[in-house]
Amino acid sequence: MRRSTSFILLLTFCLLFSACTPAKPIYILLPEPDYWPTQGWHSSTPEAQGMDSALLAQTVEEINANQTNLHSLLVVRNGYLVTEAYFHPYTPDTKIHIQSITKSVIGTLVGAAIQAGYIDSVEQELLDFYPGRMVANPSRQKESIQLKHLLSMSSGLDCLEFSGSGPRMEQANGWVQFMLDLPVVSAPGKRFGYCNGSAHLLSAIIEKATAQDTRLFANQLLFEPLGIPAVEPADWMEDPQRFNTGGYGLYLTPRDLAKLAFLYLHGGKWEDRQILPPSWTSESTTQYVQKEDGSGYGYMWTVYPDEKRYAALGLGGQQIHVYPSHNLIVVVTAALESYAEAPEIEHMLNDYILPAVKSNLPLPEDSQAYTRLQAAVQTAAHPLQEVPPLPEIAGEISGVAYWFGENPVGWQKLALVFEPGSVQAKLFLDDYPPLAIGLDNLYRQSTLESLGDLHLRGRWIGQNTFVVDYPYALSGPLNLAELGASEFSFTFSESSVEVAARQLIFGGEPVVFQGTR
């Protein structure tokens, strides 16, 4: 009786004080799907899956009209693609640098390693994987760091991810040693601290535990069963010691990301194979710590218990959102100026996609609304517009060479050529072959031996300024997979041109320089 009374008192105390109340998992057991998308996704009308085509059409139309810098939007309900839009010049085959969604993949691989017997459990201690290793700042708290603390970004290590001062992991010759040497500044498991190094340590641990590269382990135990093409070395970055980066650096397609979410929706099972421990989805999507913005964090997934969803969030709008109670997956890739929780995407989710979920049963088909959705998707992929008349100055400067002194982008000379009635212009830059510039709102691709594929489109603003859209960062590789969006403005006067190069994503002040005829 005393024991029972004590239990009741303890339960009452915990109900009064939320610190004692365990977080509720978001995971629910879904029925076996109609099919497994190993060989590819099946498509469906939204109405057949209980969704409203008109609202889905409206969100794609708004993205098109506002020129929101999305690259793709996939909506999957009940295992069927009900919306799949790619925004020019991106296509289903474009691999994207998924940024911090890499962390969610790493978390998944930890689960796969546990299921396969390479790792005992999330309670294993970090330093158990490095017996005899000399580390700086030893302490009992450091010895108590477990895998679950790395998975939930609550290791307590002084990671200094966004401090703006102090050494960073990427500046070290040995990233793993750098992380192991950090002091512990809070008790493990108590406080969220965003840290790429936590995920990177997990990648190194996967390699130690499995005796193979994280990439090869992922190909064998995760990607191949899901029907995701094997990731090549060029599609997963490495640190100086050749460990695959854990916090970012992986390249996948949006359809691949949807498969990762589908695996979690079905409790880590794929076809007849249990890839993850049966409890892994529930454990991974339970809130263990709270992030600064009020959301929670599980095992490399952001969780929203009140909204009954979990998400993988990456820089610039690479995102996966999973709503288990609706059997709904939303994948977005983008180049947005926000860090992770992009307001443009939240608006799309809350005002269009979630309201489009009307029923768990099929709705009457709406052919008119579905045709509207298909038209919006087609416009996203091919946003052709009529070429407006060229301003008078276009003829005056066409073919004229402009020369530059020393400048930040290293140009020496350029010339633009405009031909009346043509859907494209040509840019002659230094000694490169001519570069095509689409004038009809479509990018034109030029392939240069030294630079690879380059996409450009342009438009006149007013009578004197020609603006060229450049879907890359001002520095770095010319690769649509990389996060970047820039523009070059050419403002012409009687004998000169002013060039303003502006990076649109995390940009800052434009680079401005002058050229003369």
The partner residues of 415 in beta bridges, in order of sequence, read: 428
CB-based contacts of 374, cutoff 8 Å, min separation 6: none
* DSSP assignment letter at 303: E
CA 94 – CA 96 distance, rounded (Å)? 6
- Amino acid, single-letter form, for residue 356: A
pLDDT band at 507 (very low <50, low <70, confident <90, very high): confident
Give the SS3 label for residue 479.
coil
CA 423 – CA 117 distance, rounded (Å)? 60
* HEC-encoded secondary structure of 55-80: HHHHHHHHHHHHCCCEEEEEEEECCE
pLDDT band at 24 (very low <50, low <70, confident <90, very high): low
Q: Mean pLDDT across the stretch 152-168?
A: 81
- Amino acid, single-letter form, for residue 52: D
In contact, 434 and 425? CB cutoff 8 Å: no
CA 479 – CA 251 distance, rounded (Å)? 12
Q: Mean pLDDT across the stretch 469-479?
A: 87
- Amino acid, single-letter form, for residue 215: R
pLDDT band at 166 (very low <50, low <70, confident <90, very high): low
Share above pLDDT 70 across residues of the chain, in percent, rounded to a whole number? 93
pLDDT band at 418 (very low <50, low <70, confident <90, very high): very high
pLDDT attached to residue 341: 65
Which of 238, 183, 160 has its CA nearest to residue 169?
Answer: 160
Alpha helices in 332-481 (DSSP H): 343-348, 354-356, 367-381, 392-397
> What are the tokens at 381?
């992929």
Averaged confidence pLDDT in the chain: 92
This prediction has a pTM of: 0.93
Question: Could you read off the pLDDT of 25-80 as tens digits, one per residue?
Answer: 788 889 999 999 999 999 999 999 999 999 999 999 999 999 999 999 999 999 99
Residue with tokens 């939007």: 73
pLDDT attached to residue 14: 38
Question: Could you read off the pLDDT of 215-271 as tens digits, one per residue?
Answer: 999 999 999 999 999 999 999 999 999 999 999 999 999 999 999 999 999 999 999
By mean pLDDT, which of 118-127, 128-137, 157-166, 358-367 is the weakest? 157-166
Q: How wide is the angle at C-alpha 257 spanned by C-alphas 253 and 262, nearest 5°?
A: 145
Question: Could you read off the pLDDT of 180-225 as tens digits, one per residue?
Answer: 999 999 999 999 999 999 999 999 999 999 999 999 999 999 999 9
